[in-house]
Amino acid sequence: KGATAVEDWAKSLERQLELYEYLQTEEGAFAGGVTNSWKGRYESPDSDLYVDTFHGLFYDWEPVYHDPPSNRWFGMQPWSADRLAQYYYVTGDPQAQGILAKVGELGGIK
């Protein structure tokens, strides 16, 4: 109902796809996440992390919890790929296809 709802949704989708690309490794897997909450307290991270940010958010290899590291949960890989595949199935979005192609290579799918 908002005056900019359609544009907002489109920008959000664009950013989500960009985030998948930002986090995707050369091998196809998604690695880590991004945060604006450094050490859980909105502190400033080490200066070397300012070199490569995602729209002002900092990379975190274990973005959800640290003991044990959240990146040990494999479920985020297939869940993310499945959601992206569903989106691609409905839209045929070439950006999603490119991301999924790398995921498929990871699983031996050509």
| pLDDT grade for 4, boundaries at 50, 70 and 90 | very high
Cβ within 8 Å of residue 110, ≥6 positions away: 104
* Angstrom distance (rounded) from CA 81 to CA 14: 16
Q: What is the pLDDT of residue 77?
A: 81
Is the confidence at residue 36, as pLDDT, over 90? no
Least confident of 11-20, 33-42, 47-56, 80-89: 33-42
* Angstrom distance (rounded) from CA 64 to CA 76: 11
- Selection from 25, 109, 31 nearest residue 72 by Cα: 31
Q: What is the pLDDT of residue 17?
A: 98
Percent of the chain with pLDDT over 70: 87
Scan for tokens 């975190």, then name that residue: 60
Q: What is the pLDDT of residue 13?
A: 97
Q: What is the pLDDT of residue 7?
A: 96
Q: What is the pLDDT of residue 67?
A: 64
| pLDDT grade for 101, boundaries at 50, 70 and 90 | very high
44 phi/psi in degrees, rounded to 5: -85, 130
Cis check for the bond before 68: say yes or no (omega within 30 of 0).
yes
The SS3 assignment for 57 reads strand
* Angstrom distance (rounded) from CA 81 to CA 27: 14
